[in-house]
Structure 1
Amino acid sequence: MSTEAPATCPAGYHGYEPFDMNDPFPSYERLRDEQPIMYDDRIGYWIVSRYADVKAVFDDWETFSSENAQAPVRPRGAEATRIMNEGGFTAYSGLSARIPPEHTRIRAIAQRAFTPRRYKALEPAIRANAARLISEMLSRADRNGDIVRDLAYDIPTITILSLLGVPADQVSQYKRWSDSRAAMTWGDLSDDEQIPHAHNLVDYWKACQDLVAKAHESGGDNLVADLVRAQGEGAEITDHEIASLAYSLLFAGHETTTTLIANTVRVLLGHRVAWEGVVADPGLIPAAIDETLRYSGSILAWRRKALRDTEIGGVPIPEGSNILLVMGSANRDAEVFDDPDAFDIHRDNARSHLSFGFGIHYCLGNQLAKLQDRIVIEELTTAVPSLRLANNESIEFGPNLSFRAPKSVPVSWEAA
């Protein structure tokens, strides 16, 4: 069946630009008010913007498959395809693009490795890294820093590398590979622009396969080794699936957490009363993190595919249609959140946000992301309560269909 929009579909985009992440929220509001289910022929996706509809689609995995969640938004060009095919690139989603029963089987095994024991063991190192990086930033004589460059960039990467058994001195390499994955999967690249990223993805996949081989050879106290041991004890998981989990986690485990840390600092400092509130009462930090996830999440949109003729919000959706669930819009739906454009760390239902998804694909690493963000905010508010945004107006967000990541968060502080 054709996946094209019906001829009667209105042509207006209501100010919505799929790849523009600088300030998408006014267009989201217009979508919710004027056309909450809109077909965007520029990208070939149905745009879903109201909370109830987004949540319902997430919850109905039998109708709305996740199989397109990791597919490139723009098709790979001939040269990038050749590079990846000849390089043996066969990586697949760890979990987010898999469907039951495969998803159910792999997630049940992977959950064994995401234990409170591992999180507790990681916490001292996370705190030590945060304190060290903050101290280095504060040592600058000009009292100017960048939260992304000086803090948020390294902490989650070191954490996830440690969790997966990768030496910490490979941070920059894995960051480069992860940037390529984001660009190739969710970006809007020309065929020529794809070529260097294709080389990086080949190297990235080989490194993930090497992690599995190393775990078979010498074991270890890390997540990949845990999965290899589970396999040896009879768990139904292949080496390729373990490598694919590593491929996904090495990206998802730090990219979105880097953004969460940067956005939490950025939004708190942009709302001075809220910053001073968490300085005075660190017990408010978890609520501030959930409100940041609602107000300015790391991921603003995610993808699904209709497996049969259906409807969303009363609008007919043909079988095979691609669907973009705009969580960044849903999280500001006035039907769910009072005064949704206000940042309020005392909001009583902030945890109802959809930034981690909903249903069977709810983010497996959400607690680790929140743990790292909480530690960073605790350390920052203690070490430098005078921290301020240096130039809020200069903050830009890279173009992307799904991820809203600030390129920098410039800050300054008073002399001690």
Structure 2
Amino acid sequence: MTLSRSENTRPAVGCPVAHGTADHHGYQPFRMDDPFPAYAELRREEPVMYDERIGYWVVTRWADVRAVFDDWETFSSDNAQAPVRERSAEATRIMKEGGFTAYSGLSARIPPDHTRIRALAQRALSPRRFKVLEPSIRENTRAALQRMLAAEDGAGDFLTDIAFDIPTVTILTLLGVDPAMVPTYKRWSDSRAAMTWGDLDEREQIPHAHNLVEYWAECQRLVTDAHRDGGDSLVADLVTAQDGGAEISDHEIASLCYSLLFAGHETTTTLISHAIRLLLSHPESWSALVADPSRVPGAIDEVLRYSGSIVAWRRRATKAATIGSVEVPEGANILLVMGSANRDEDVFARPAEFDISRDDARNHLSFGFGIHYCLGNMLAKLQARIVLEETIAAVPSLRLTPGADIRFAENLSFRVPTSVPVTWES
């Protein structure tokens, strides 16, 4: 990768991509209803663009996104969990006085700490644990479907009725938490997403700051309880490894909990919601899965390519470098738009088409690439597969509610539908 020197994170005077065009090619960083036309224009016109509204270099082509992910030394992940908008003085005070010291579990760490902690976490997230979890995931899915299908009007919201609880119960079970706490953890997770990747003003930050203090205290409690009680959970496994001489601190275990209790369900809830939304909006695809459920894994890869849960992730240049043909200065904040890369015409045939039979879907970058490749990817795909299999079996007549206007919450990195209204034949 070509390197160059520069003095600051702003574009150099005269740089052809210094501020983008007047309207940034229609790109709106936080708006997620339909960002794909703007992504396509950026790929064509300015695949590496500095956006002064957020202070990030926006990277939209597959090859460039992959290259940045793959070079962790030049492009550090240490800003991956930093708030997009600066925390207000009041929110900072609340969190400091509340003892909030949480740090990233893995995504914002760099080697050697990342290597050390990931090896231990990967050992704890073993195929054995997934195999043990599978029957309960299937049982929980069947029960949730029965509750939804009991509606007398033959209508429901797949997001809140099915996708909301299944991944949350799974990750709470994995970490040894009472599944009755689903609403509480969802509230905390909403606050984490808003405070880290949202566009909040000072007043809006205050309730979320209080929630994050509670969230971090709970993560620390889980570690304390595992030391005292042991048990069969990922937290207990890490504590046992620590007692056996593994180099991991209580704070690092709590930080892993802080990350997993968010990432372990939010993105999977969204993946399941996207899968149902897309398959039902393409009835021929839904019918194909009803006829042959063995095609479900391929369909999940296409959902991840076409509309992943995470559309953008962040990096920081540790030295001046070139991305594509554009020089970025040392210290530059970089936004890698996987949602655009996954529809790059240079990589995917007919990228704007949703096609569950395509043979190139697995080249998507929705789980990242390189040393930070998503640790929970197998668990996410397992849960999506089970939910689709059980839904196909229980209600093959499922349809999107006619005229439904599905919207998406505003966020820099996550594309989350606010509802997935469905109907079915009684």
TM-score with structure 1 setting the length:
0.99
Aligned counterpart, 2:273: 262
Q: Secondary structure at the match of 1:370?
A: helix
For residues 4-57 of structure 1, the C-alpha deviation after alignment (integer angstroms, 9 at most, x for no partner) is 122332431100000000000000000000000000000000000000000000
* Alignment of structure 1 residues 15-26 onto 2, 5 Å: 15-26=26-37
Matched, 1:96 2:102: no
For residues 357-413 of structure 1, the C-alpha deviation after alignment (integer angstroms, 9 at most, x for no partner) is 000000000000000000000000010001000046510000000000100000000
- 2:20 & 2:341 partners in 1: Cα distance? 22
Q: Residue 73 of structure 1 contacts residue 185 of structure 1 at CA under 8 Å; is this kept in 2?
A: yes
Q: Which of structure 1's runs of 4+ aligned residues deviate more than 4 A?
A: none
TM-score with structure 2 setting the length:
0.97
Question: Which of 137, 147, 159 does residue 158 from structure 2 map onto?
Answer: 147
- 1:163 & 1:125 partners in 2: Cα distance? 11
- 1:105 & 1:218 partners in 2: Cα distance? 25
Question: Which of 334, 349, 367 does residue 356 from structure 1 map onto?
Answer: 367
Question: Which of 199, 208, 227 does residue 210 from structure 2 map onto?
Answer: 199
For residues 197-255 of structure 1, the C-alpha deviation after alignment (integer angstroms, 9 at most, x for no partner) is 00000000000000000000010100000000000011000000000000000000000
- 2:196 & 2:402 partners in 1: Cα distance? 31
The Cα shift of 1:314 comes to 1.1
The count of residues paired between Structure 1 and Structure 2 equals 415
Q: Residue 396 of structure 1 contacts residue 406 of structure 1 at CA under 8 Å; is this kept in 2?
A: yes
* Alignment of structure 1 residues 322-361 onto 2, 5 Å: 322-361=333-372
Q: Secondary structure at the match of 2:80?
A: coil
* Alignment of structure 1 residues 136-285 onto 2, 5 Å: 136-285=147-296
Aligned counterpart, 1:3: 9
Matched, 1:403 2:414: yes
- 1:111 & 1:187 partners in 2: Cα distance? 30
The Cα shift of 1:95 comes to 0.1
Aligned counterpart, 2:138: 127
Q: Secondary structure at the match of 1:394?
A: coil
- 2:94 & 2:141 partners in 1: Cα distance? 38
Q: Residue 311 of structure 2 contacts residue 415 of structure 2 at CA under 8 Å; is this kept in 1?
A: yes
Aligned counterpart, 1:63: 74
Q: Residue 20 of structure 2 contacts residue 46 of structure 2 at CA under 8 Å; is this kept in 1?
A: no
- 2:77 & 2:121 partners in 1: Cα distance? 18
Aligned counterpart, 1:117: 128
Q: Residue 270 of structure 1 contacts residue 392 of structure 1 at CA under 8 Å; is this kept in 2?
A: no
Q: Secondary structure at the match of 1:414?
A: coil
The one-letter amino acid of 2:221's match is D
Aligned counterpart, 1:289: 300
Q: Residue 80 of structure 1 contacts residue 194 of structure 1 at CA under 8 Å; is this kept in 2?
A: yes
The Cα shift of 1:108 comes to 0.6
- 2:255 & 2:291 partners in 1: Cα distance? 43
Q: Secondary structure at the match of 1:303?
A: strand
Q: Secondary structure at the match of 2:26?
A: coil
Q: Residue 31 of structure 1 contacts residue 49 of structure 1 at CA under 8 Å; is this kept in 2?
A: yes
Aligned counterpart, 2:3: none
Question: Which of 307, 315, 322 does residue 304 from structure 1 map onto?
Answer: 315
Q: Secondary structure at the match of 2:265?
A: helix
- 1:251 & 1:370 partners in 2: Cα distance? 17
- 1:37 & 1:11 partners in 2: Cα distance? 9
For residues 167-196 of structure 1, the C-alpha deviation after alignment (integer angstroms, 9 at most, x for no partner) is 011000000000000000000000000000
State the identity %.
67
The one-letter amino acid of 1:6's match is A
Matched, 1:107 2:113: no
* Alignment of structure 1 residues 49-88 onto 2, 5 Å: 49-88=60-99
- 1:391 & 1:45 partners in 2: Cα distance? 39
- The two structures, once aligned, show a CA RMSD in angstroms of 0.7
- 2:73 & 2:201 partners in 1: Cα distance? 34
For residues 135-160 of structure 1, the C-alpha deviation after alignment (integer angstroms, 9 at most, x for no partner) is 10000010010011100000000000
Aligned counterpart, 1:319: 330
Structure 2: which 5+ runs fail to align? 1-6
Q: Residue 39 of structure 2 contacts residue 340 of structure 2 at CA under 8 Å; is this kept in 1?
A: yes
Q: Secondary structure at the match of 2:322?
A: strand
- 1:243 & 1:179 partners in 2: Cα distance? 19
Q: Residue 19 of structure 2 contacts residue 51 of structure 2 at CA under 8 Å; is this kept in 1?
A: no
For residues 307-350 of structure 1, the C-alpha deviation after alignment (integer angstroms, 9 at most, x for no partner) is 00111001010000000000000000010000000011111011
